[in-house]
Amino acid sequence: MKYFATITVIGRDKTGVIARITGFLFEQKANIEALEEQVTRGQFSMTLQASWKPADLDAPAIRAGLDGLAQALGMEVKFRFTDPARRQRFALMVTKEPHCLQALLAACRSRRLKADPALVIGNRPDLQPLAHEAGLPFVLVPWEDRAQAEGKALRLLEDAGIDFVVLARFMKILSPNFVWRHKNKIINIHPSLLPSFPGPQAYRQAYETGVKIVGVTAHFVSMHLDEGPIIAQGAFRVRPGMTLKGIVAAGQKLEAQVLVKAVRLYLSKKLDVYWGLVKEV
């Protein structure tokens, strides 16, 4: 038996951060399972997975030591235990389209998804009745000021003990500052077969270019818009005379199916992200 924890470090880039954090964890008899770091426009971000044998774990000393390092480095250092055997808690982020939220909630009720939805965050109030009908708290977070909105959303996720996030047709772009705090734990659905037609109006682009196959892509959110590691895809043929409205309707039905499939794959713990690619292990 092992105890697992996730540690995130975010702040202005400076020399020696990785050495300071990993050196401290070595002193605390931790085994580093995985480490990923990146510098984006001067911001250093690191996500680290560590484990301990039960006899070696001194949680208060680890928390105190990491708090001290955060202060010394002038950076944010978060430490959270993760239990691989525990049912995952997830948050849904939405705007106004209900089909993906409905499909995920139905999959949870039918136990096709073995995880617990714990929170719905919306940048518009449209889907509040649907969340409340499912017995879930709904928090309206206006997105006019992205930094302020993301700060509030991050606090909500932390307070709710969220393990991963699903963007159920959430129509706002998340910053690197947000994404790095939940690296490879934010799942999005995009209405095209990426890398074709990134960004908004993907169905319209497909319709106007006359493609014969239209699809959708579930992927992990990364620093770059609609370029994150692909988890699952689905497609349908465009019939002769099919209108844009018909394409959108068929696409939305497929979005819900593929997003549920992607969350099931994520929960299976058989996905590994390696050099920007998702591999089933």
Active site members: 226
Residues belonging to the chain: 281
Contacts of 95 (CB under 8 A, 6+ apart): 122, 123, 124, 126, 127, 169, 170, 171, 172
> What is the DSSP secondary structure assignment for residue 56, as one 8-state letter?
G
Residue pointed to by tokens 């939305």: 252
**Is-contact 76 44, C-beta < 8 A?**
no
C-alpha span between 80 and 101 (Å, rounded): 27
Question: If we measure between CA atoms, which residue out of 176, 180, 177, 205 comes closest to residue 190?
Answer: 205
**Is-contact 119 139, C-beta < 8 A?**
yes
Instruction: Write the DSSP assignment of 192-232 as a string of letters.
Output: SSTTSS-SS-HHHHHHHHT-SEEEEEEEE--SSTT-SPEEE
Residue pointed to by tokens 């020696």: 16
The Cβ of residue 167 has, within 10 Å, a number of other Cβ atoms equal to: 22
Residue pointed to by tokens 């580093």: 32
Question: If we measure between CA atoms, which residue out of 172, 101, 168 comes closest to residue 141?
Answer: 172
C-alpha span between 122 and 139 (Å, rounded): 6
